[in-house]
Amino acid sequence: MSVDSSWKGLIRAGGISLLAAGAIVIIFILSVFIFQVQLPLDAQGFLDYPLPPTILFCLAAFGEFLLMPGVLALYFSLKDINKNQVFLGAAVWFEAIPMFLVSRGQVISLITVAGNYAATADVTMRAAYLATTHLALEVANVYTIMALDLLGVGAIIIGLIMVKGVFIKKTAHIVILAGILVVMGTFGVILEPLTIGTLFGLILNGIWQLVVGLKLYKLSGNT
């Protein structure tokens, strides 16, 4: 299947962005285990060792920013199947991105607080910095949960459209499953065992973003 030549540049850029975003997801997950970063972040742990989580969340923010051209590429490659449905899926997925960025920004900004915490020996000031960090991380977690829900729902909608499009059905099914697992994982705040869904959902997200990104890149070269 070929695409409208006027959108080929955008689809190519989106494919490259999705490839990079998928790779970043995998790198992020591996780095969490390698550097033993506790997720969700603990306030005291962050203040004691702020550099590893700060670097990881900078990486995550960059990967999530790359989803913007990726979702646009998906829209223009699938819009001929069901324009309204793909617009809904893309819009829901797109809304997750600023929420992710706000959440990551909350964490990254705490590097200054961690520096102040390390520089003072005053017990009262340390307690204040700890409370500030705890509150900021709680706010970041709320934004992350909302973003994951939107990302999951958007992936489910887009996956259902992919079944009818240029992507092989197995890929579409992985997209749908990833979305379901991510949404399921956010209910871990109620039932903790469900949080494992987030991990597996994000792994599948990284995989399908790599596969779909490559497909979009190749699709943009069709004539």
Query: Which tens digits make up the pLDDT trace of 43-82?
Result: 999 999 999 999 999 999 999 999 999 999 999 989 888 8
The tens digit of pLDDT for each residue in 69-128 reads 999 999 998 988 888 999 999 999 999 999 999 999 999 999 999 999 999 999 999 999
CA–CA gap between residue 109 and residue 115 (Å, rounded): 11
**Are 71 and 96 spatial neighbours (Cβ–Cβ below 8 Å)?**
no
CA–CA gap between residue 133 and residue 149 (Å, rounded): 24
* Domain extents in the chain: 5-151+208-219
Q: Is the pTM of this model over 0.75?
A: yes
- CA atoms 151, 100, 19, 201: torsion sign: negative
**Are 11 and 73 spatial neighbours (Cβ–Cβ below 8 Å)?**
yes
Nearest to 92 by CA among 190, 137, 158: 158
Nearest to 66 by CA among 103, 24, 28: 24
